[in-house]
Amino acid sequence: MKNLFQLILLASICFTSFASVKEVQSYINSVKHYELIDDQIFLEKRSPMPQELRYQLTLILLGPLGDLILRVKDQATLEFVEVNDPRDAFGVNGNKIYYMKSVLPWYTSKRDAGHLPAGSYMEEATLGTLLAHEIGHTEVGRLALGLPIINSYLRTDIGNGRVTFIFSREMVRKEELRAVRLFENPYRQYIGIPLRESYYKAGDVTVH
């Protein structure tokens, strides 16, 4: 049953129509952009979208995911926050994607921390592949592909004056592998770079 569902989903991605340049530009013009003006308290202010982001977003939206994302624009749209610290980059809150224009500082910090197993092909990552992945964690991404929420929240522990949120590792893992398989890899294929075969460990991503 699960395989059948995946097959239908993949077929719907394969046979999707592609958005026009005009539709994509109109979507991007409506996207809200912010910059982080205080890293400590995550204070943001509205700012114009930088050209680098506009360019990468155009590529994504002209690609296999674009038409599906545009179709749900009346329900939910993407937002972007430019950050300064690689530790704050490439994460999601609702439909807000936190990013930085330069991929290199983020890549270097991940590589040096030993978080890139063989077959991740993150040395090939572009701003676009990282954004395509993050879209997979947004409500927009889920609506676009008709995917259920993977709820990883388990409980909140309060002790010694500290609040700690506990998440299910297994659910987080499912969410990450889904983002790679259904969002990042179709975009990688579209721009012609190696598909990501690894997230946590070598070969843990199903590559079709």
Cβ 203 to Zn ion shortest distance, Å? 18
Cβ 83 to Zn ion shortest distance, Å? 16
A 10 A CB-CB count for 89 gives 22
Number of H helices, E strands in the chain: 9, 7
Give the residue with the Cβ less far from Zn ion, 47 or 109.
109
Cβ 160 to Zn ion shortest distance, Å? 30
Give the residue with the Cβ less far from Zn ion, 44 or 176.
176
Residues engaged in binding Zn ion (CB under 5 A): 176, 179
A 10 A CB-CB count for 90 gives 21
For residue 42, give Cα distances in angstroms to 30, 61, 85, 152, 173. Answer: 23, 28, 11, 23, 26
Give the residue with the Cβ less far from Zn ion, 23 or 107.
107
Cβ 137 to Zn ion shortest distance, Å? 6
Give the residue with the Cβ less far from Zn ion, 47 or 152.
152
Give the residue with the Cβ less far from Zn ion, 104 or 172.
172
Residues 6+ apart with CB under 8 A from 198: 117, 118, 119, 120, 204, 205
Cβ 179 to Zn ion shortest distance, Å? 5
Using DSSP, state whether 1 is helix, strand or coil: coil
Do residues 75 and 151 lie in contact, with contact meaning Cβ atoms separated by under 8 Å? no
